[in-house]
Chains A and B, each alone.
Chain A
Amino acid sequence: MALSLTKEFTKGLWAEIPPFRLVLGLCPTLAVTKSLENGIGMGIALTFVLVCSNLFISLLRNIIPSKVRIACFIVVVATFVTIVELLMQAYTYELFLTLGIFIPLIVVNCIPLGRAEAFAYKNGPLSSIADGLGLGIGYGLSLSALASVREILGNGTLTVWGGTPAFTMSPDFLPFKFLLTAPGAFVGLGLMLCLMNLIGKK
């Protein structure tokens, strides 16, 4: 049991790490990774939604009729997204403003819906939580990695939390602004994917 739980958890960290292995949820990946702080924030928000919705759907999986299951999934996910939205508005308002529209858009981020359909609807609550936690953290790590690269090279800083940079490059460093723009996001993610492919599958 414990072994399989660990397996469900760790597969999200490497074997199926989104968005690299599991090419889902690209929009926020591109949009919010201008700074590490955003990446971490998004990761936490998604992890919360994913774990809660997975748990909920897994608990309700015998009640939800299969014909309207997608609608039910959407409502469940949307509910938790709204909760996250309200929580962030209350406690991390600055972050809420920078992430902006991408918090409500977690609803249509394919990861929670996809996991609900592919995993939680078929598995018990414990494994579902492990699955959600793993994938959520994996997603957060991916975002953080991409965000770190983009922030350091693009802005010359690294902000972990609270808006003030924890680390700043020497003033001689000329920031590579391209990485902060939309094309930079696309190219950066493309190169990251390439890197992951290089490291090898599994």
Chain B
Amino acid sequence: MGDLFVLVISCIFINNILLAQYLGNCPFLGTSKKMETAIGMAMAVIFVLVLAGGLTWILNEYMLKPMDVVYLQTLSFILVIAALVQFVEMFLKKSIPALYGSLGIYLPLITTNCAVLGVCLINIKEEYTFIESLVTSFAYAAGFGLALVLFAGVRERILLARVPKPLQDVSIGLITAGIIAMTFMSFKGMV
């Protein structure tokens, strides 16, 4: 149990997927202009990533390994993730229209979010058990959400600053992300 806790802390803070592992940067910059969008995206990522983490672990453990075709990881994982996202979209539209209304538009973005595929691949590489995979998937996604929401908050404020023209938009965004990443570095050594 304690191990899982350590795992969660390290996934959220120390190895934050965005700020330490460089994964999921496109949606990070794309959906962080508004707090509302950032929260929606964060929720959608958490939702999909936990499902995808579990599913790809099963696929790897019971299909790829026995058949000795681990080299097909990338191909099969992305296929499964794409199908999963599509499935979730259809499911939500029918069963929970309210949730679909708030998360739906972010779902298509997730297929190409490298954080999702990345975490699935990390899970396999680190040889986590099924439970650990689920927990890390959740923790990484939560870390992604945390960074995204923090960043969106800062970005809404950046609107106020008089940014020199060449630095505007993405450029200042990246530098800000760098500073946030620096603060996350201080978590190192916590565990």
Contacts and interface: CB of A to CB of B under 8 A. Distances in A.
B171 interface: yes
Given A27-B22, A107-B117, A198-B166, A86 B75 contact: no
Contacts of B182: 183
A193 interface: yes
Nearest to B25: A26
B78 to A, nearest CB: 5
B126 to A, nearest CB: 11
Contact of B79 (A31, A75, A81, A105): A75
B71 A82 contact: yes
Q: What range describes how many residues of B lie at the interface? A: 35 or more
A75 B75 contact: yes
Interface residues of A, number: 42
Given A27-B22, A198-B166, A85 B71 contact: yes
Contacts of B167: 190, 194, 197
Interface of A: 23-28, 30-31, 70-71, 74-75, 78-79, 81-82, 85-86, 101, 104-105, 107-110, 113, 181-191, 193-195, 197-198
24 contacts: A24-B26, A26-B26, A30-B22, A71-B79, A78-B74, A78-B78, A79-B75, A82-B72, A82-B75, A105-B121, A107-B74, A108-B117, A113-B112, A181-B181, A183-B185, A186-B175, A186-B181, A187-B174, A187-B178, A187-B179, A190-B171, A194-B166, A197-B165, A197-B168
Given A24-B26, A31-B22, A108-B111, 5 more contacts: A30-B25, A101-B118, A101-B121, A190-B175, A194-B166
